[in-house]
Amino acid sequence: MKVDYNEIGIKAFQEKRYEDAAQAFNDAIEQNPDEAIGYVNFGNLLATLNDTERAERFFQKAIVVDEGAATAYYGLANLYYNAERFIEAAKLYQKSIDHGIEGADAYYMLAKSFEREENYKLALPFMQRAAELSPNDLQIRLSYGILLCTLEMFEHAGPELQFVIDKDWNNADAHYNLGVLYAVSTSKTEDAKYHLKQAFTLQPEFDQARYIYDMICQRQN
């Protein structure tokens, strides 16, 4: 029976036995040098260990071996995103999607890449898709709400932020953004103050929430 070195490596990786994982992934590559998965797994391990230069080489090798290796594009995109190479990251996240990677994460990261380049309109459909694919992921729903606020689509942003608060009352960021939304797009001053106060009550160092709250109070006097 053939030994599955990738499976052995992944188990070692999950148990943080990184040397054992490296050996197993190396064995997997030697056993099947024309399969991308061993290179991808080794790349993921090296990325976790912050050995980004070697990780990049392994992901690139995986793509050479198999141009359809979606997880290789995704792993390489994460490296570039973390290195603030957002335009390159966006192209690679798109390729990972084109080659069939599943789930919301690639759409979310593609949207975040465009966001970091301040291409908010480009980010929107991908963030919306991420929210559709993972409707209970509060980080995605919060990010979607904030992006809608950035684009001044307040009518759509409000329900997203309220959804996050309903599921996680202690989410200071959601309270803050909903408070700002009420302050800038409605006459619901008390609602704005309520959510801003919740934000800096939950996170006392949330100075921006306190600042806007105080500004609203001064205007009322």
Q: pLDDT tens-digit profile of 23-68?
A: 999 999 999 999 999 999 999 999 999 999 999 999 999 999 999 9
Residues of the domain holding 109 = 1-133
**Number of structural domains found in the chain:** 2
Q: Would you call 194 exposed, middle or buried from its count of C-beta atoms within 10 A (0-12, 13-18, 19+)?
A: middle
pLDDT value, residue 77: 98
Same domain, 141 and 65: no
Q: pLDDT tens-digit profile of 92-101?
A: 999 999 999 9
Predicted structure pTM score? 0.92
pLDDT value, residue 221: 73
Domain boundary among 72, 104, 133: 133
pLDDT value, residue 81: 98
Confidence class of residue 3 from pLDDT cuts 50, 70 and 90? confident
pLDDT value, residue 189: 95
Same domain, 102 and 187: no
Q: Are the CB atoms for 212 and 179 separated by under 8 Å?
A: yes
